[in-house]
Amino acid sequence: MPSDADQTETLSPIDRVIARVQKTYRSWTRHTTDQEMRADWDALMWSDAAPASVVETSAGGVPAAWIAAPNADAAKVVMYFHGGGFRVGSVRSHRDLMARISAASGSRVLGIDYRLAPEHRFPAALDDACAAYEWLLAQGFGGGDIALAGDSAGGGLALSLALALRERKRPLPAAIVTLSAWTDLAAERQSYQTRKEADPIHQRQMVLMMAKGYLGADADADPRDPLASPLHAALHGLPPLLMQVGDRETVLDDSRDFAAKAQEAGVDVTLEVWDGMIHVFQQFPEELPEATQAIAAIGRFLQRHFGAGARAV
């Protein structure tokens, strides 16, 4: 009988990635602690394949790290919010992706280790994002020198931060980039059904469990709160936006519906739906050429929009 290694070798690149992620997911039981899941996720995703310097810092009291590829422009910064359902993920798990975005965009990346649930529920992550952004402004960066980016829950958090800044009439960033953004914590989009069979990783039951962990189980926890689920917000006045998502994802419509609503509100939106790709496929550039191509597109988008000047409402 062939071994697991032999069977993996016969798989396509995308299926090898899926098998690796599924192996981690399937190792978790109801007895697995949050700390164990976080360690497993960091071990699964961590890579230092892309050259970059890493300098830990405190961004307004929020743990963070400067990630800079060689020759990155220190005057431009991408604030990056990692994914993980607000429960797992870290600057460590996303180190390689941030390094590649730094190289592609020619700017430094500031990875934000925002507080995680269930220890720290909504709006703790958003409070940390706001504090870190205000810290950057206090360091002398203008809105036109800052972009926001994030994947999955972090993509939703980047959008929520922009909405919070707009409401507070603070300088808005030059641009926003999302990868497989989770924009609706109520998980009501049609793609939870239409992509149910195609998505090998994220199903609605798990998504709702993550949302409950982030929002809490009490009656006042509203999954449609616009600052938790930015799809339910008024979207006027947001900066230019690039949204990338895989065609196989149950959260596909979290990006498609957000992009359509934002365009109706007058926002400059670019939506890229990548055929055959899974949730945050950009984290696997060593195996997926599509990931390399997507990161290059992110770099071009950010280069176009940096330096356009501070945006305020």
Q: Kindly report, residue by residue over 63-88, the tens digit of the pLDDT.
A: 999 999 999 999 999 999 999 999 99
Task: Mark whether 58 is an active-site residue.
Answer: no
- What are the sequence ranges of the domains in the chain? 13-305
State pLDDT tens for residues 264-312. 999 999 999 999 999 999 999 999 999 999 999 999 999 999 965 444 4
Question: By the 8 A CB rule, do 48 and 95 touch?
Answer: yes
Asked whether residue 9 carries a pLDDT value surpassing 70, the answer given is no
Task: Mark whether 119 is an active-site residue.
Answer: no
| pLDDT given for residue 218 in this prediction | 75
Task: Mark whether 279 is an active-site residue.
Answer: yes
Q: Which amino acid is at 197?
A: E
What is the value of pTM for the model shown?
A: 0.95
Q: Active site residue: 152, 160, 229, 255, which one?
A: 152
Alpha carbon distance 55, 155 (integer Å) = 23
Question: By the 8 A CB rule, do 75 and 106 touch?
Answer: no
Q: Active site residue: 93, 105, 249, 272, which one?
A: 249
What per-residue string of b and e applies to 88-127 under the rule 16 or more CB within 10 Å gives b? bbbbbbbbbbbbbbbbbbebbbbbbbbebbeeebbbbbbe
Q: With respect to CATH, is domain 13-305 assigned 3.40.50.1820?
A: yes
Burial of 6 (0-12, 13-18, 19+ CB in 10 A): exposed
Burial of 293 (0-12, 13-18, 19+ CB in 10 A): middle
Q: Active site residue: 82, 94, 232, 279, which one?
A: 279
